[in-house]
Amino acid sequence: MNQRVDFMQQSAGLAKKLIELDTLFLQSSIEDPIRHLVMIRASQINNCAFCIDMHVKQATVHGERPLRIHHLPVWRESTLFSPRERASLEWTEVLTRLPDQGVPDDLYKQVRTQLSEQEIADLSFIIGAINAWNRINVGFGSVPGSRDEAFGLAASGLE
């Protein structure tokens, strides 16, 4: 699919604000490896090829192991993720798919055993933002890899 319009150009002010929000996540309580895993997983759920491509490349640049990236769709069955990462992925999935009855209390309590109040709040904003990016990029048919140069992703070695 070809990109429909350049939303970054058409809504430059709004795009800039969402990018500024993303920049704030670098100083959040959520460490880079979890942030990358969460962004990839939400993008997988939302079928956002552009975001999967970008976040896999970013994770690779930051040293994420390829096997862990490959295991993300089956993280529950994989032994490659820590309890903290599992809680973060669980929270990502429930906030991305939002059950009709809301988030169950037992799931929230389970996540809270691994994440502080600050961490779960920060993680929720990260999940909200990646879901916004997924919806925008899917809606406008963003082409995977089309912004690699602008985002400095050639360093990933993935083409």
H helices of the chain, where? 7-10, 12-24, 32-45, 49-61, 66-71, 83-97, 105-112, 117-139, 148-151
Calpha distance 10→46 (Å, rounded): 23
| Residue corresponding to tokens 């959040």 | 28
Domain segments of the chain: what residues?
30-156
The dihedral region occupied by 14, where left means phi > 0, alpha psi between -120 and 50, and beta the remainder, is: alpha
3-state SS, residue 153: helix
**What is the chain's pLDDT, residue by residue, as a tens digit (159 residues)?**
565 899 999 999 999 999 999 999 999 999 999 999 999 999 999 999 999 999 999 999 999 999 999 999 999 999 999 999 999 999 999 999 999 999 999 999 999 999 999 999 999 999 999 999 999 999 999 999 888 888 888 778 787
User: Do 40 and 69 meet the contact criterion of CB atoms below 8 Å apart?
Assistant: yes
Closest CA to 4 of 133, 128, 134, 137: 137
Size of the chain, expressed as the number of residues it contains: 159
3-state SS, residue 136: helix
pTM reported for the whole predicted model: 0.93
Calpha distance 12→8 (Å, rounded): 5
- CATH architecture of the domain 30-156 equals Up-down Bundle (1.20)
Q: What pLDDT does residue 3 have? A: 56
User: Do 7 and 136 meet the contact criterion of CB atoms below 8 Å apart?
Assistant: yes
Tokens of 92: 């990502």
